[in-house]
Amino acid sequence: MITFERNLPNARRLGEHLDADVIIYHKGIFREAFEKYDAIVAMFATGIVVRDIAPLLKDKWTDPAMVVVDSKLDFAIALLGGHHGANELVRKIAQLGTVPVITTATEVHDRNSVEGIAAKLGCDIVNKESTRDVNCALLEQDVEVLRIKGPKVVVVDNDVSVLTKDRRRIIIGIGARRGVTADETIEAIEAALEEIGASRSDVDMLTSAKMKENETGLIEAAKCLGLDIQFIPHEVLNRFDGPSESQARRFGLKGVAEPSALALSDNNNLIMKKKVYGRITIAIAE
């Protein structure tokens, strides 16, 4: 996070919220930050940031995500790399009461994007230049997602995005006490990921029991992390046996965190048994 010295009190508050480095502005700082960080928050007027970063820009796949916030923390603008972390950042900043400003067309119109689909599926985009045409199409219509199992040879046109699945696909099952907050949920998820040596980018989806579908803390946490959360019907959860005893049995369930994770995993492989983090219980499958 970059700011002028006069803005340090609010910058430090925001930096603590984001767990970010806070750096005082000096000439050439944006060039240094572009080389070191994947995401940058700048507490400046937007014009200052635009003029400083303009000579540094290459393309959306290599430029860091850039968010601009004003010194009063009234607004947070996803300026650069909306699909690559900036939109997620402004949502997290919004937890402080800041108004998030997102202009990414697919998100404004509540539509899928190629980048979003790839993230949800745990895939990388092979032919990145195709995303312009496909994202434009996604604004107007639902675009079919096809999975082709090999061996195959696939020939595609320029308006077909090709995704390859070469990352971990982690499913996080969540049990929660009533009234948990988004911050509690995110902290628990991050602690669990650290324990298994994984990162947020490895997470495919969050999941919990249907009875938790109105827990705003879980829903807001998923939004802040840029992830989908699915609430599994109870009859589906009871098809899966987790290795741990669960208090959810008093609600007629075999469990919540472990069965939820197993229900959406590809391999029915629980890589972390349920663990309690305060008022949150986490189990992880892949």
pLDDT computed for residue 166 by the predictor: 61
Query: Alpha-carbon distance 263 to 240, whole Å?
Result: 7
pLDDT computed for residue 14 by the predictor: 94
Of 256 and 201, the structure prediction assigns the larger pLDDT to 256
What are the percentages of helix, strand and coil residues in the chain, rounded to 5? 40, 20, 35
Is the pLDDT confidence value at 247 over 60? Answer: yes
CB 53 within 8 A of CB 80: yes
Compute the CA torsion angle 217, 222, 225, 226 (nearest 10 deg).
-150
Query: Alpha-carbon distance 67 to 270, whole Å?
Result: 37
DSSP codes, 131-185: HHHHHHHHHHS--------SS------TT---EE--S--EEEEEEE-TT--HHHH
pLDDT computed for residue 67 by the predictor: 97
Of 60 and 114, the structure prediction assigns the larger pLDDT to 114
Maximal C-alpha separation, the chain: 62
The structural domains of the chain, ordered by start, are 2-103 (3.40.50.11220), 108-164 (no CATH), 170-285 (3.30.420.180)
Mean pLDDT value of segment 43-64: 92
Mean pLDDT value of segment 236-257: 83
Alpha carbons within 13 angstroms on the beta-carbon side of residue 276 total: 7
DSSP H or E segment with residue 47: helix 46-53
Mean pLDDT value of segment 269-283: 94
Helix (H, G, I), strand (E, B) or coil at 78: strand
For residue 104 the two structure tokens come to 């990414």
Is the pLDDT confidence value at 167 over 60? Answer: no
Phi, psi for 171 (deg, rounded to 5):
-110, 130
Banded pLDDT at 252 (limits 50, 70, 90): confident
Mean pLDDT value of segment 7-36: 93
pLDDT computed for residue 137 by the predictor: 94
Mean pLDDT value of segment 6-20: 93
CB 17 within 8 A of CB 43: no
pLDDT digits (tens, 9 = 90+) for 77-131: 999 998 888 999 999 999 999 999 999 988 888 898 998 888 777 788 889 999 9
CB 205 within 8 A of CB 227: yes
Distance, CA of 83 to chain centre: 10
Mean pLDDT value of segment 10-32: 93
Banded pLDDT at 168 (limits 50, 70, 90): low
**Amino acid letter, 202:** D
pLDDT digits (tens, 9 = 90+) for 123-162: 888 899 999 999 999 999 999 998 887 788 999 999 999 9
pLDDT computed for residue 30 by the predictor: 95
Average pLDDT, the chain: 91
What is the SS3 string spanning 94-135?
Answer: HHHCCEEECCCHHHHCCCCCHHHHHHHHCCEECCHHHHHHHH
pLDDT computed for residue 23 by the predictor: 94
